[in-house]
């Protein structure tokens, strides 16, 4: 028997005060038909309201996705990892209109799995020493939330500290697939990620919750290859057929469907244009010097994903490293910006939960992450900019497990302009905001925890490279054309260590030609 339900009837059945989990990343797999209708019914009749929204990755593109739920009254509480592409959600959090907790992205994925197994929470070292540690901020994102109970605690097992993330009973889980049969068996052939669909569905079932899936179409029973089914129909309660697939079932924000991002086709890499040299590419070029041949690497948002994957392709060493992204991608060339998390011509695609198992456990050889601040102790803030707190996303999961963490960003912010005449760096206009400060606004990476594990922490900027030492940050390299005193030390709130063997960056990094001969540095 078909489980298809009209979206209006579905939303009308959602009770006020319910806890809803949505599965997606950026706009990938956003159930836009359902999310839009929840918003419409709230605006029309003030219900459903007082919902708790749970989500692992950030979901949206500034105008679509979970931003439809960003209304005071509709939401009472949000428990998620990242809101950088949901400005209206960040505004609600900043203005104390909703309760907001941040849990690292991978920990939410794994919490679903723990809950589905009948466990009352999830045990992990991920988050220790950072702002999600209950001894610091406990992931509470505003003053309103700081008055509430913690959703995690520190426990000791065999003499070691862990964070225990409490279970979150789910009333509804909203998924998206490509098609399903009349029994509700779901496939995802046109989707660009596998995500954590089954763990989330099973977590809801553990608490007697309902699982809803939005699809493009329903096919006859027996039509689907059973190996293609990602959630068996016995766990699906209702099916919503998308009302407008070109508008509300886009593969990602920038396009409706590109088969090279869903593994259904491959495109010639020669079609990808060479990135022009600017300060972001210059930073990316220097950052990839930290790679060794055979490394498994991770690319975060910003400069890492937007630039470094292209540099690896341009410089011709794609076969020497394996690029991964937190969503579960292996190899390929990543899409950037609002389409973060997907890649064309990938070699493999695993689930979001499985990827986080790898990142938390074995860990990548090198991860590249953007940064906002670094303090005198070597703590790094990549999660709070001014009064705005976009959250951690997968940063904490990835950084704490990696063997080497390379932070990429400009030395100053807001107004920095440079050029690369004569194969050296020239500061045309200095940035107004200093990023090397006495104390960071929020601890995204704890230097104390990094030193315990003997991690190598590197900060790469356009003019200086720093490495973490036992007694603070050490300046180890400068760009050609830079004056250490005037262009670096005078613009830091603290005095760093300065290496006795201070090096000058390779001039090839500042070459405007398409290649910088980086492959020769990959040993």
User: Within 10 A of 81 (CB to CB), how many other CB atoms are there?
Assistant: 29
CA 36 to chain centre: 24
Using alpha carbons, list the distances in angstroms from residue 92 to 69, 78, 104.
Answer: 11, 10, 20
- Integer Cα distance of 19 and 501 in angstroms: 56
d(CA 164, CA 140): 15
Helix spans in 302-452 (H): 303, 309-314, 352-360, 395-401, 447-452
d(CA 360, CA 348): 19
CA atoms within 13 A on the CB side of 414: 7
* Relative orientation angle of helices 197-206 and 105-116, to the nearest 10 degrees: 50
Listing DSSP states for 443-490 in one string gives: -SB-HHHHHHTT-EEEEE-SSEEEEEETTEEEEEEE-TT--IIIIIGG
Using an 8 Å Cβ cutoff, are 380 and 407 in contact?
yes
Instruction: Catalogue the E-assigned strands of 233-328.
Output: 238-241, 296-299, 322-325
- Give CA 253 to chain center in angstroms: 16
Give the CA count within 13 Å in the CB-facing half-sphere of 216. Answer: 17
Whether 326 is catalytic is yes
- With beta carbons less than 8 A apart as the criterion, state whether 424 and 480 touch: yes
Nearest to 316 by CA among 299, 293, 337: 293
**Which residue out of 167, 191, 290, 326 is catalytically annotated?**
326
Give the CA radius of gyration of the chain: 23
Q: Is 82 within 8 Å of 391 (Cβ atoms)?
A: yes
Q: How many CB atoms lie within 10 A of CB 102?
A: 32
Instruction: Give the number of other CB atoms < 10 A from CB of residue 176.
Output: 28
Q: What is the DSSP letter of 48?
A: S
Q: Which residues of 320-353 are buried (b: 16+ CB within 10 A; e: fewer)?
A: bbbbbbbbbbbbbbbbbebbbbbbbbbeebbbbb
Q: Which residues are catalytic?
A: 326
């Amino acid at each position: 028997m078909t489980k298809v339900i009209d979206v209006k009837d579905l939303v009308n059945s959602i009770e006020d005060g319910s806890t809803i989990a949505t599965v997606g990343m950026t706009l990938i797999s956003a159930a836009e038909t359902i999310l839009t209708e929840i918003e419409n019914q709230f605006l029309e009749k003030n219900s459903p309201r007082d919902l708790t929204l749970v989500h692992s990755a950030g979901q949206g593109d500034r105008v679509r996705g979970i931003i439809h739920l960003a209304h005071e009254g509709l939401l009472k509480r949000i428990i998620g990892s990242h809101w950088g592409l949901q400005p209206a959600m960040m505004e609600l959090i900043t203005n104390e209109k909703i309760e907001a907790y941040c849990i690292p992205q991978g920990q939410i994925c794994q919490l679903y799995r723990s809950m589905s197994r009948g466990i009352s929470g999830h045990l992990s070292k991920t988050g220790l020493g950072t702002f999600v540690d209950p001894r610091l901020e406990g992931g509470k994102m505003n003053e309103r939330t700081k008055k509430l109970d913690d959703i995690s605690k520190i426990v000791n097992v065999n003499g070691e500290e862990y964070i225990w993330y409490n279970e979150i009973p789910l009333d509804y889980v909203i998924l998206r697939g490509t098609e399903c049969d009349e029994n509700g068996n779901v496939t995802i052939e046109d989707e660009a990620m596998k995500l954590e669909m089954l763990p989330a569905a099973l977590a809801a079932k553990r608490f007697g919750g309902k699982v809803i899936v939005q699809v493009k179409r329903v096919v006859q029973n027996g039509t689907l290859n059973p190996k293609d089914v990602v959630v068996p129909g016995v766990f699906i309660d209702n099916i919503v057929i998308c009302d407008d697939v070109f508008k509300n079932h886009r593969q990602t924000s920038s396009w409706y469907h590109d088969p090279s991002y869903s593994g259904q086709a491959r495109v010639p890499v020669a079609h990808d244009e060479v990135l022009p040299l600017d300060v972001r590419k210059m930073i990316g070029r220097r950052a990839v010097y930290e790679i060794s041949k055979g490394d498994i690497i991770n690319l975060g948002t910003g400069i890492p994903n937007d630039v470094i994957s292209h540099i690896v392709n341009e410089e011709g060493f794609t076969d020497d490293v394996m690029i991964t992204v937190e969503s579960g991608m292996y190899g390929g060339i990543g899409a950037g910006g609002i389409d973060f998390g997907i890649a064309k011509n990938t070699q493999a695609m695993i689930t979001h939960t499985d990827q986080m198992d790898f990142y938390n456990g074995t860990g990548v050889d090198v991860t590249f992450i953007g940064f906002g601040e670094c303090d005198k102790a070597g703590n790094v803030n990549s999660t709070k900019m001014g009064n705005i707190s976009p959250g951690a996303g997968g940063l904490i999961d990835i950084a704490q497990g990696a063997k080497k963490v390379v932070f990429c960003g400009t030395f100053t912010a807001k107004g920095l302009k440079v050029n690369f005449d004569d194969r050296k760096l020239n500061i045309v206009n200095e940035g107004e905001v200093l990023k090397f400060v006495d104390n960071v606004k929020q601890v995204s990476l704890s230097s104390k925890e990094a030193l315990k594990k003997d991690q190598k922490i590197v900060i790469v900027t356009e003019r200086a490279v720093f490495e973490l030492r036992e007694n603070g940050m050490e300046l180890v390299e400068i760009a050609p054309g830079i004056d250490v005193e005037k262009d670096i030390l005078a613009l830091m709130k603290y005095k760093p260590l300065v290496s006795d063997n201070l090096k000058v960056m390779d001039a090839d990094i500042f070459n405007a030609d398409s290649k910088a001969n980086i492959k020769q540095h990959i040993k």
